[in-house]
Amino acid sequence: MEIQGKIIRDLGETSGTSRAGNAWKKHEYVLETHDSYPKQICFHFFGDRADQYACNVGDEVTLSFDINSREFNGRWYTDIAGWKLEKGTTPDVAPAPAPAPYAAPAPAAAPVANDPFSAPQGNDDLPF
C-alpha cells in the first residue's frame, strides 16, 4: 500500500538484542496525510531500512508500507511497517474549496391577493 503526506514527528530510533542474540533496531515517524480531514499515521522502518530511509520533519514523502497485526496475551497489536520511502513528492490532492460565506435567509414575501397557498385573510373557520 502507498500513502502520501508530510513527516510531522521523528520519534527516534530504538534498538536492542533479540532472545536469539541478534541485534535489531527500528526508527519511528509520524506522517500526516493531505486529505480534507488529515490523518496522522505512526509507522516504522526496521533493521537496515532504519538507516536507508532516514527522513526529517517537514519532508513531503510517499510511503510504501505493510500492515501487520499480532496477538499477545489476548490483545491485538497492529504495526505499520514501511518498506520504501520516496522524498519530495507533492500531494495529488487538490485543496478543499473554501466554504461559502453565510447568507441570511431572504425575507418572506408579502401575500398576494387570490393566492391559494398564502395564509388566510379575515374570518376563516377551518382549523388548519
Query: pLDDT digit of tens for each residue in the chain (128 aa)?
Result: 999 999 999 999 999 998 999 999 999 999 999 999 999 999 999 998 998 988 899 999 999 999 999 999 999 999 999 999 999 865 555 555 666 666 666 666 665 566 666 655 666 666 66
d(CA 84, CA 107): 59
Q: How many CA atoms lie within 13 A of 100 on its CB side?
A: 3
Superfamily per CATH, domain 2-87: Nucleic acid-binding proteins (2.40.50.140)
d(CA 20, CA 54): 27
Mean pLDDT of the chain: 83
Q: What are the domain boundaries of the chain?
A: 2-87
- pTM recorded for the entire structure: 0.65
Residue at grid coordinates 533496531 = 25
The residue length of the chain stands at: 128
d(CA 16, CA 14): 7
